[in-house]
């Protein structure tokens, strides 16, 4: 009888495949893993990468999947850092090696995250349209700006996702931007963020007011504004800026402010969310975001966020947030920094942000809402 029940359970298991760019540090990858960690009975989650990551974080990433009981599948095309041609090649060849996985596991749903996995999934079902009859495609839109440099191809991909009812937006900003550009208003499921136990970080001084910037060193993240803020405050003496990340603009950051005594540059840190309380404030001068997960993680860790109220970032903080800047105004940043002091745990500012983040960005709520779609 037990064997019969087990076989029934296995046969009725709903398998869901998450397609991500690579097994590496990234907001979309974190969302996929958080969904796949769901303990809802009757679901079996797999995570598939498009390009084969080989960074210092890849082993940590795969260990996390293994420990959570999530099955994963490695890609074949190598991930060449900041060379997007390889990602496009990987999207083209993706159907060749993904088809055997589909036929073997017969997933009930394929869920893709960000543009190159979106492109790969579109191409796969363009070649094998019959597989759509028994497989639901879910596509999370993670950003307010899509298909930079691939607008014509992107419109073909979007027609597929709209026609098949695949789209889910991660924020009001993403939904509104998508509706304006493509004429469809997708439903919203806010990304869930785990509340991470904090530990002491190797960075962060005892006397300075420690300001953390963490993210890709790309134009989207407001790097030119970051550089200008640091230059304006370099002689203040109260602040130390920790810039954690990598990207195409790293040489610019190194040249402009890397040698300043008030600046520490550091490579990306896996598990940085567990170290955020070592800093006094998070600085986020982004030009736009899909949904600023780092802002939510900082709030949950009790670290106030100094943020540009751009699309996708303004939704992560309480209304009338006192550390808000509009249009990346340098003057507004300077007004905020004039009054900044060492962070006080338990302050009304910290508690307000924590309460807001816990209410709006629950991981379990995100899992349940996606499972209704699958």
Structure confidence at residue 7 (pLDDT): 45
Query: Using 50, 70 and 90 to split pLDDT, how confident is the model at 345?
Result: low
Give me the number of domains the chain comprises. Answer: 2
- Is there a domain that residue 367 lies in? no
Give the number of other CB atoms < 10 A from CB of residue 18.
Answer: 27
Structure confidence at residue 346 (pLDDT): 61
Give yes or no: residues 219 and 353 share one domain. Answer: yes
Using CA atoms, how far residue 114 sits from 21, 44, 67, 80, 121, in Å, is 7, 22, 25, 17, 11
**Could you tell me the two tokens for 99?**
């088809």
Per-residue pLDDT at 22 exceeds 60: yes
**Could you tell me the two tokens for 229?**
């803020």
- Is there a domain that residue 197 lies in? no
Give yes or no: residues 229 and 182 share one domain. Answer: no
Structure confidence at residue 216 (pLDDT): 92
Per-residue pLDDT at 215 exceeds 70: yes
Give yes or no: residues 178 and 228 share one domain. Answer: no
Domain harbouring 251, CATH code: 3.40.50.2000
Give yes or no: residues 235 and 160 share one domain. Answer: no
Give yes or no: residues 225 and 167 share one domain. Answer: no
Return the closest-CA partner of residue 44 out of 17, 19, 62, 21: 17
Lowest mean pLDDT among 3-12, 182-191, 250-259, 282-291: 3-12
For the segment 240-257, the average pLDDT, to the nearest whole number, is 96
Give yes or no: residues 295 and 260 share one domain. Answer: yes
> Rounded to 5 degrees, what are φ and ψ at 44?
-125, 120
Per-residue pLDDT at 278 exceeds 80: yes
Per-residue pLDDT at 274 exceeds 80: yes
Per-residue pLDDT at 284 exceeds 80: yes
pTM: 0.80
Per-residue pLDDT at 81 exceeds 80: no
Give yes or no: residues 161 and 261 share one domain. Answer: no
Query: Using 50, 70 and 90 to split pLDDT, how confident is the model at 326?
Result: very high
Give yes or no: residues 174 and 237 share one domain. Answer: no
Per-residue pLDDT at 133 exceeds 70: yes
Per-residue pLDDT at 99 exceeds 60: yes
**Could you tell me the two tokens for 224?**
């030119």
Return the closest-CA partner of residue 29 out of 49, 2, 43, 15: 49
Query: Using 50, 70 and 90 to split pLDDT, how confident is the model at 293?
Result: confident
**CB of 253 within 8 A of CB of 40?**
no
Per-residue pLDDT at 8 exceeds 60: no
Place of tokens 């309380």: 277
Give yes or no: residues 180 and 216 share one domain. Answer: no
Q: Is the dihedral of CA 36, 177, 119, 137 positive or negative?
A: positive
Structure confidence at residue 5 (pLDDT): 43
Give yes or no: residues 285 and 152 share one domain. Answer: no
For the segment 11-36, the average pLDDT, to the nearest whole number, is 91
Query: Using 50, 70 and 90 to split pLDDT, how confident is the model at 1?
Result: low
Per-residue pLDDT at 4 exceeds 60: no
- Is there a domain that residue 218 lies in? yes
Give yes or no: residues 182 and 256 share one domain. Answer: no
- Is there a domain that residue 289 lies in? yes
Per-residue pLDDT at 266 exceeds 60: yes
Q: For residue 351, what are the domain limits? A: 209-360
What is the residue-wise DSSP string for 280-312? SEEEE--S--S--HHHHHHHHTT--EEEE--TT
């Amino acid at each position: 009888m037990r064997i019969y029940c087990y076989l029934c359970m296995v046969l009725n298991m709903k398998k869901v495949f998450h397609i991500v760019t690579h097994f590496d540090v990234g907001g979309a990858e974190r969302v996929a893993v958080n969904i796949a960690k769901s303990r809802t009975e009757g679901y079996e989650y797999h995570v598939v990468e498009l390009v084969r990551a080989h960074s210092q974080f890849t082993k940590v990433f795969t260990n996390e999947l293994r420990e959570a009981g999530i099955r994963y599948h490695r890609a074949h095309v190598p991930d060449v850092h900041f060379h997007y041609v390889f990602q496009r090649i990987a999207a083209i060849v993706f159907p060749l090696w993904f088809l055997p996985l589909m036929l073997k596991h017969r997933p009930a749903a394929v869920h893709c995250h960000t543009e190159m996995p979106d492109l790969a999934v579109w191409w796969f079902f363009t070649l094998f349209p019959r597989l759509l009859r028994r497989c639901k495609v879910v596509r999370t839109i993670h950003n307010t700006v899509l298909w930079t440099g691939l607008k014509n191809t992107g419109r073909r991909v979007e027609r597929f996702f709209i026609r098949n009812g695949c789209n889910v937006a991660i924020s009001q900003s993403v939904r509104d931007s998508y509706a304006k550009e493509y004429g469809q208003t997708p439903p919203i499921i806010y990304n869930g963020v785990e509340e991470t136990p904090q530990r002491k970080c190797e960075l962060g001084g005892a006397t300075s007011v420690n300001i953390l910037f963490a993210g890709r060193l790309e134009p989207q993240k407001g790097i030119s504004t970051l550089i200008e803020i640091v230059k304006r405050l370099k002689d203040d003496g109260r602040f130390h800026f920790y810039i954690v990340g990598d990207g195409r603009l790293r040489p610019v950051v190194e040249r402009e402010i890397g040698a300043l005594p008030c600046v520490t540059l550091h490579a990306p840190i896996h598990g940085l969310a567990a170290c955020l309380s070592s800093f006094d404030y998070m600085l986020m001068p982004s030009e736009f975001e899909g949904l600023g997960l780092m802002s939510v993680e900082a709030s949950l860790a009790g670290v106030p966020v100094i943020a540009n109220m751009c699309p996708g970032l303004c939704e992560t903080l309480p209304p009338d947030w006192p550390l808000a800047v509009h249009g990346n105004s340098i003057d507004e940043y300077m007004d905020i920094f004039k009054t900044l002091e060492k962070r006080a745990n338990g302050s009304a500012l910290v508690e307000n942000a924590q309460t807001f983040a816990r209410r709006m960005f629950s991981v379990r709520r995100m899992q349940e809402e996606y499972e209704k779609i699958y």
